[in-house]
Amino acid sequence: MRLQFFTFLFFFTLFHRQISASTTTTLVNVTVDDQFGDPHTHSQIIYTPAEAWSIAPNCSHCPDGISSLSPSRASNGTWHGSYFSSETASGAIRAGAPRYAELQFTGNAIYVICIIPPSTNITNRLNFSIDGTEVGSYPPAPAIATDLGGWQYGVVVYHNTSIPMASHQLLIQSGEEDGPDAIILLDSIVYST
């Protein structure tokens, strides 16, 4: 009788724990590579204007030293890059057209990971919007020319851990009409779901 009771208790506890486990939400981070996209939903990052973006290590008109970047230090060995200039004379592809990278994701946190040039003097002003509302920029404050001593890999240029759990659109902008030169090297986007 005692044994039966303990057997019952054991299975009851086990059952109860399984129920609790299945109702507790577990968050996981999903890495969306710039080139290979979302491994779960298979959606891709959309780049516009498409012809102004290139895949590592190519980067038309990017500053000297970009060829020294090591693909092995980037997520999946790739990044998407674009050099923006308002000046047609710069030779930049689609001069004056801001560069955009857009991702649809379902989650409640987001991290944008870029490779950053050795000097903040090479403007890398990025703007971030979620669902059409501007939510941040990089650098967060107006940049003072700082020598970082080399290219920086895996820099989280924007993160937001207080997004309502739902489907969202993230839009990254580099360069603005009549604005200064800008460079973006997007490595990956991580979201929690």
Ligand X SMILES: *[C@@H]1O[C@H](CO)[C@@H](O)[C@H](O)[C@H]1NC(C)=O
Question: Among residues 109, 189, 108, which one has the least CA distance to residue 155?
Answer: 189
**For ligand X, which is the closer residue by CB, 7 or 180?**
180
In angstroms, the Cα distances linking 179 to 67, 98, 175 are: 26, 9, 6
- Give the shortest CB-7-to-ligand X separation in angstroms: 37
CB 35 within 8 A of CB 80: yes
Q: Which of 187, 176, 180, 127 is nearest to 152 (CA)?
A: 187
The single residue among 111, 118, 143, 151 that binds ligand X, judged by CB under 6 A, is 111
43 forms part of the interface with ligand X (CB under 6 A): no
Q: How many residues bind ligand X (CB under 6 A)?
A: 26
- Which residues 45-74 are close enough to bind ligand X by CB under 6 A? 54-55, 58
Q: Is 192 in the site for ligand X (CB under 6 A)?
A: yes
For ligand X, the binding residues in 127-166 under the rule CB under 6 A are: 127, 130-131, 135-137, 145, 160, 162-163
Note whether 36 binds ligand X by CB under 6 A. Answer: yes
Is 13 or 58 the residue whose CB approaches ligand X more closely?
58
Residue closer to ligand X, measured from CB, 111 or 151: 111
CA neighbor of 167 nearest in space, from 193, 141, 186, 188: 193
Point out which residues pair with 182 in neighbouring strands.
Answer: 84
- The first and second tokens of residue 160, run together, are 């937001």
> Residue 49 CB, nearest distance to ligand X (Å)?
15
Task: Report the interface residues with ligand X, using CB under 6 A.
Answer: 27-29, 33, 36, 54-55, 58, 76, 111, 119, 121, 127, 130-131, 135-137, 145, 160, 162-163, 173, 176, 190, 192
